[in-house]
Amino acid sequence: MFSRVLIANRGEIALRVMRTLSRLGVESVAVYTDVDASAVHARMADRAVRVDSYLSIEGVIEAAQAVSADAIHPGYGFLSERPAFARACADAGLTFVGPSAEAMALLGDKVAAKAAASAAGVPVVPGLSGERLTDEEIAAWAAGQPLPLLLKAAAGGGGKGMRIVRSLDALPEALGAARREAAAAFGDDRLLVERYLERSRHIEVQLIADAHGTALHLGERECSLQRRHQKVIEEAPSPVVSAELRARMGRAACALAHAAGYVGAGTVELIAEHDDPSAFYLLEVNARLQVEHPVTELVTGLDLVELQLRVAAGEPLPLAQADVSLSGHAVEARVYAEDPAHGFLPSTGRVVAYREPSGVRVDSGVEQGSEVTADYDPMLAKVVAHGPDRAVALARLERALAELRVVGPTTNAPWLRALLARPEVRAGELDTELIERLGDAVAVPPPDASLAGLAVRALLGARASDDPWDALDGWRLGGVRAPARMRLDGPSGPLDAVAPVEARRVPDGLGIEGEGGVARGVAVYRDGRAVWLVVDGVPTRWAVAVERTGARAAGGSLDAPMPGTVIDVRVEPGAAVAEGDTLVVMESMKMELAIQAPADGVVADVLVARGQRVTQGEALIALTDGAVSDKGSYRPPEGHSSEEEAAA
């Protein structure tokens, strides 16, 4: 076993790897950028080394050599699927905890993986692939195929560089967007195109292989609950995979691993017919650890990071296929800093309060005081529940998400609870388009109207006792009372003349009076001149409203919905635009946002340029003739990457 391992990653996966290293008595080394100088992973490691970028192969290798590390664990995302990185580790005398550069190049590339799978007898989705397909070649093939079709980045996954094409007229724009995303995320704009299977299931097989000729499958995971090709909820085992089908899928995965000379942990992702999952096809191979690996660990009792390390150290696998058994059911929810009520835009800011639920596994990369920025992926944590059966695991996960407290950046945790409550999810009737079909049927109820008055009470300060001198109203000598009122900025906008409601201090915040005493408690967190109220696990922010000034108050501009970088400006001053026209394209948290005209109008001025970094709320385009919006309009993104596929 190694004595010192550098982790070439950040956030929750870096901390996850550290836990296993600590248990094995192996020293951990973190790398961090200037943005992450105070990040949890940088402080929790035994040692930490600064690098300019998590994507700098030379910088990471130099950091490992500076501390005399034996090996490098890449986690997922960043350099984890770069054959050049695995090769550079070998050239520097460092062990790469993953497959060889040759196996990674073969299976990590969708084009090569499809060819290898066909040769190994694994069924593949009909499509067109090649070393470097041109837009013209793809268009010519698409013209003779039934729609819809799916464009995919050849060099990566996680929804980046992926577009569904339902009309040939939409193909040119889809090709451009897919290539831009692929180049930004993976440094490679190659694409392939396949038939798109409607209402399919996404099922993946976890495999582990050693250098002594043994390849094992560790069961499957159901990953069909996706939003724009990004996994949201994963579980193991799949509710529709029988023992016989599990063995078939496992044999196919191991056959592909043997054919590629694969050593390490990997995942063979399959797409299966919804009504007949026995009809499955290769989707892609992820030549690394997956974000959702905890569900496999909980049902098998195995530590996949430990197995990775032992295999990388040259040890034979300590078990055979017959030793692998599944116990119970596990479900994982990915908690992102994103706002479901506003198109799932990523959210940024300081974590004002953080508390993990009990009785479940939480893999997290944040703590109270952490700063969530637009520089990296928005995934904050994974909440994973295990139970004797699927129903119990789902119930435990829903309760855990209600207990999870992330105050500051908006998260999708309340939305995940609403999703888990859907009858389709409870029944296991899943497919990759279910979330899109459900749409607004999965929504978080709006905040209770009484919270505004409670926010005023919290801003004024809760009444400490029944003593009249502790009253926070406007009592004056002579018995005249002038109730305090505030103008608030709340989750739904400004509110005028809000009066406080009666509340008392309780250990975790404020208690609302009801029959027989306190009816319920509301957690309260101060954040400068604002307060956060948490009711039933849902945080809302309230602050004393201030008058808006400057260009935004005057109106007439499209503003950046979040911090990011302008990657395309499609209009010039004087241009006439129609409602829905894309005027500016931004990139933030590895996600592409199309900023669109909210109404017909004329471009009065272009206030940004390609490559410019902008802050949230910064004016991008000035419009006249009624095309006025406070924040502008944006097209919901096709999907963001998880940290699994992110680039710095």
Query: pLDDT tens for residues 242-297?
Result: 999 999 999 999 999 999 999 999 999 999 999 999 999 998 899 999 999 999 99
Q: What is the DSSP letter of 287?
A: -
* H or E element at residue 59: helix 57-66
Which one, of 94, 81, 104, 71, lies nearest residue 310 by Cα?
A: 71
H or E element at residue 245: helix 243-260
Of 523, 544, 565, the residue that ends a domain is 544
How sure is the predictor about 407, in pLDDT bands with cuts at 50, 70 and 90?
very high
Mean pLDDT score, 186-197: 91
Indicate whether 635 belongs to any domain: no
Domain with 158 in it: what CATH number? 3.30.1490.20
**pLDDT for 463:** 53
Q: pLDDT by residue (tens digit) across 28-47?
A: 999 999 999 999 999 999 99
Q: Which residues pair with 227 in a beta bridge?
A: 230
CATH of the domain at 42: 3.40.50.20
What the block records as the tokens of 206 is: 């976890």
Residue 135, token pair as written in the block: 């837009």
Cα 460 to Cα 400: distance, rounded to the nearest angstrom: 32
pLDDT digits over 538-581, tens only? 999 999 886 544 333 334 678 888 788 899 999 999 999 988 89
Determine the pLDDT at residue 648.
36
- pLDDT(629) > 50: no
Q: Are residues 576 and 619 in the same domain?
A: yes
**Partner residues linked to 423 by β-bridges:** none
Instruction: Give the per-residue pLDDT at 466.
Output: 53
**Is 117 a domain residue?**
no
Q: What is the pLDDT of residue 552?
A: 37
Q: 518 or 310: whose pLDDT is higher? A: 310
CATH number for 463: 3.30.700.40
Q: Check residue 187 and give its pLDDT.
A: 86
pLDDT for 590 equals 64
Per-residue pLDDT at 503: 84
Cα(511)–Cα(520) distance, integer angstroms: 6
Task: Quote the pLDDT of residue 291.
Answer: 97
In a shared domain, residues 494 and 587: no
Per-residue model confidence as pLDDT tens digits over 525-542:
998 889 999 998 999 999
- Predicted pLDDT at 518: 58
Do 413 and 307 share a structural domain? yes
Does residue 466 share a domain with residue 568?
A: no
| 151 falls within a domain | yes
Q: What is the per-residue pLDDT for 239?
A: 97
Signed CA dihedral, 332, 338, 340, 344: sign only: negative
User: Among 49, 81, 97, where does a domain finish?
Assistant: 97
pLDDT given for residue 512 in this prediction? 79
Please check whether residues 381 and 253 belong to one and the same domain. Answer: yes
Domain shared by 345 and 329, yes or no: yes
Within this chain, do residues 530 and 586 fall inside the same structural domain, yes or no? no
Whether 640 is covered by a domain: the verdict is no
Same domain, 172 and 67: no
How far is Cα of residue 31 from the mean position of the Cα atoms in its chain?
21
**pLDDT above 90: residue 363:** yes
Residue 637: inside a domain: no
pLDDT band at 628 (very low <50, low <70, confident <90, very high): very low
Mean pLDDT of 440-468: 80
pLDDT of residue 593: 83
**Strand 329-336 and strand 280-286: pairing?**
unpaired
Last residue of a domain, one of 195, 230, 253: 195
pLDDT at 516: 59
- Report the CATH number that the domain containing residue 582 is assigned in CATH: 2.40.50.100
CB 146 within 8 A of CB 195: yes
Whether a cis peptide bond, with omega within 30° of 0, leads into 573 is: no
pLDDT of the residue at 467 = 57
Range of the domain at 333: 200-441
Under 8 Å between Cβ of 334 and 420: no
Q: Is the peptide bond before 237 cis (omega within 30 degrees of 0)?
A: yes
Q: Are residues 299 and 383 in the same domain?
A: yes
Within a domain: residue 57?
yes
Q: How confident is the model at residue 229 (pLDDT cuts 50, 70, 90)?
A: confident
Q: What is the rounded distance in angstroms from the CA atom of residue 118 to the CA atom of residue 517? A: 69
State the average pLDDT over residues 90-104.
Answer: 97
Assess if residue 121 is contained within a domain: no
Q: What is the spatial distance between Cα 630 and Cα 612, in angstroms, rounded to a whole number?
A: 21
Give the per-residue pLDDT at 391. 98
Does 550 map to a domain? no
Q: Nearest to residue 520, comparing CAs of 535, 540, 531?
A: 535
End-to-end CA distance of the chain: 31
Residues 10 and 58 grouped into a single domain: yes
Q: Which residues contact 199 (CB under 8 A, 6 or more apart)?
A: 274, 431, 432, 433
What pLDDT, on the 0 to 100 scale, is given for residue 202?
Answer: 97
pLDDT of res. 442: 96
Strand 530-535 to strand 538-544: parallel, antiparallel, or no bridges (unpaired)?
antiparallel
Mean model confidence pLDDT for the chain: 89
Looking at the structure, tell me whether residues 388 and 307 fall in a common domain.
Answer: yes
Mean pLDDT lowest among 194-203, 363-372, 519-528, 555-564? 555-564
Please count the helices (runs of H) and the strands (runs of E) in the chain: 17, 39
Task: Check whether 409 has a pLDDT greater than 90.
Answer: yes
For residue 336, give the CATH number of its domain.
Answer: 3.30.470.20
User: What is the total count of domains within the chain?
Assistant: 5
Helix (H, G, I), strand (E, B) or coil at 220: strand
Q: Please spell the DSSP secondary structure of 116-183, one letter per residue.
A: HHHHTT--B-SEE--TT--HHHHHHHHTTSPSPEEEEETT--TTTT-EEES-GGGHHHHHHHHHHHHH
Predicted local confidence at residue 301, as pLDDT: 98
Q: Which residue has the higher pLDDT, 501 or 408?
A: 408
Under 8 Å CB-to-CB from 492, ≥6 apart: which residues? 446, 447
Q: How far is CA 440 from CA 44, 343, 435, 436, 437, in A?
A: 40, 11, 9, 9, 9
Would residue 576 be called left, alpha or beta, if left means φ above 0 and alpha means ψ between -120 and 50 degrees? beta
Instruction: Classify the C-alpha dihedral 34-38-42-43 as positive or negative.
Output: positive
Indicate the pLDDT class of residue 228, thresholds 50, 70 and 90: confident
Same domain, 158 and 293: no
Arithmetic mean of pLDDT, 191-212: 95
The 10s digit of each residue's pLDDT in 51-78 is 999 999 999 999 999 999 999 999 998 9
Rg of the chain in Å (alpha carbons): 26
